[in-house]
Structure 1
Amino acid sequence: MPRAPRLPLRLTCALFGLLACVAQASTPSPAPDSLQPLLVTMNERLIIADLVALTKWDSGKPIQDSTREALVIANAREMAIDRKLDPDEVAELTAAQIEANKLVQYGLLAQWQAADKAPDTPRPDLVNEIRPRLDELQNLLLQQYAAFAPYRKDPDCPSWLGTARAGLIKDQLHGQALIRASGELCVVDR
């Protein structure tokens, strides 16, 4: 049986080197340590959305609270200035958290309306317990965002985000909300 022609050693090494470079180029760099804590905080806000939805169910109040939302965004802008962050970016981040939170609330209320009942679980007080916790999380979120901000334009950011987010998703509703909450963390030109 005839043998296949052998490539010269230099050409073989060059080909293997090229293949190694291609493989290395397609493998994203490791995610920065600052991403996971940021996503965990976003996710915690979404878990609290379940409690907010319960209070809205009990009170019959609407989910949309434009006055409260404007106040939260204005406070976030002030905090951004104090932390030397871009107030517009922080306002967008905060608005995304609010929209994601409402997404969970609307989804849960729709489920409970279809079942004609909400879960029989303890309801913390919205004003005295839930909102102060959300305010604490907002402060933490901005600290974590500041740590992650230098990586937002990294070409690997979307890959990092998709991988890190996948480990936090507990169900479809909260998964969609987490996608909304973190949807603009990466700013990568395509």
Structure 2
Amino acid sequence: MPRSPHLPQLLICAVLGLLASSAQASAPSPAPDSLQPLLVTLNERLSIADLVALTKWDSGKSIQDSAREAQVVANARKLAVDRTLDPDEFAELIAAQIEANKLVQYGLVAQWRAAGKAPDTPRPDLANQIRPQLDVLQNRLLQQYADFAPYRNDPECENWLATARSGLIKDSLHGQALIRATGELCR
């Protein structure tokens, strides 16, 4: 059987094709479009922690509010069931938000104690202004979490978070809190 003069060229093309496809397979996948809005909402929730800290400073109330935290987590479970999401996973995410918010509050109150005063800024009412904002954010967070949930197991999830978080961090305290707030997003 005569040998084809094009055989070496065909072999080279086949090898190059295999190399190109393996290079594409190892390239990291881009972050899903649903990640950024979710992180913006988490960051917005952390900004509200500054206001909560001010109200707790003024009132002398403890940052730890176990009864309120339990109520928020229980509500999160109900909302997750209504949207056919895993209630335990969504409750973990909300518990992480609570912990991240307390991290900001404790950090700010410690700074103010060291300075001997808190900032002279307007204080919204905790029960009538701040908590309704947090409830709205929780509903938005639920939808955004549902949109992102299919990507939680992606091997690139932690890398996506690290990259996306970096653009949202305003200082080290809030940066650490944002890391805590996103700690339950990837599996």
> Is the pair's TM-score, using the shorter chain for normalization, greater than 0.5?
yes
Q: Equivalents in 2 of 1:53, 1:75: separation in Å?
A: 23
Alignment RMSD, CA only?
1.7
CA drift at 1:24: 3.4
Match of 1:49 in 2: 49
- 1:27 deviates by 2.9
Matched, 1:115 2:98: no
Preserved CA contact (<8 Å) 1:41 1:141: yes
CA shift for structure 1 position 34:
0.6
* In structure 2, distance between residues paired with 1:94 and 1:184: 9
For residues 22 and 162 of structure 1, do their structure 2 counterparts lie closer, same or farther at Cα, with a shift above 3 Å needed? farther
Q: Which structure 2 residue ranges, 5 or more long, are not aligned?
A: 1-7
C-alpha distance in structure 1 between counterparts of 2:85 and 2:24, whole Å = 34
**Separation in 1, partners of 2:186, 2:28:** 14
What TM-score does the superposition give when structure 2 sets the normalisation length? 0.89
Aligned residues, how many?
Answer: 180
Partner of 1:5: none
CA pair 19-90 structure 1, distance change in 2 beyond 3 A: same
Deviation, structure 1 residue 184: 1.5
* Superposition deviation, residue 174 in structure 1: 0.4
**Are residue 176 (structure 1) and residue 179 (structure 2) matched?**
no
**SS state of the match for residue 153, structure 1?**
coil
2-structure distance, mates of 1:22, 1:121: 57
The equivalent residue for 2:31 is: 31
Deviations 1:77-122 (A, max 9, x none): 0001100000100110110000000000000001111111111000
Mapping for residues 1-190 of structure 1, pairs under 5 Å = 20-21=20-21, 23-187=23-187
Sort the Cα spacing of 1:26 and 1:166 in 2 relative to 1 into closer, same or farther, 3 A. Answer: farther
* Structure 1, unpaired ranges of 5+: 1-7
The whole-number CA distance in structure 2 between the counterparts of 1:62 and 1:145 is 30
Write the distance in 1 (CA, Å) between the matches of 2:12 and 2:114: 66
Q: In the aligned structure 2, how far is the partner of 1:153 from the partner of 1:24? A: 20
CA deviation profile, 1:47-92 (whole Å, cap 9, x unmatched): 0000000001101100000000000000000001100000100110
Seen in structure 2, the aligned counterparts of structure 1 residues 166 and 16 have a Cα distance that, compared at 3 Å, is farther
Tell me what 1:4 maps to.
none
1:158 CA drift (Å): 1.1
1:21 to 1:111, Cα distance in 2 relative to 1, 3 A:
farther
Runs of 4+ in structure 1 over 4 Å off: 8-23
State percent identity of aligned pairs: 79
1: distance between equivalents of 2:29 and 2:104?
32
Report the Cα offset of residue 179 of structure 1: 0.5
Tell me which amino acid in the other structure corresponds to 2:65: D
Asked if the contact 1:52/1:105 (under 8 Å) is kept, the reply is yes
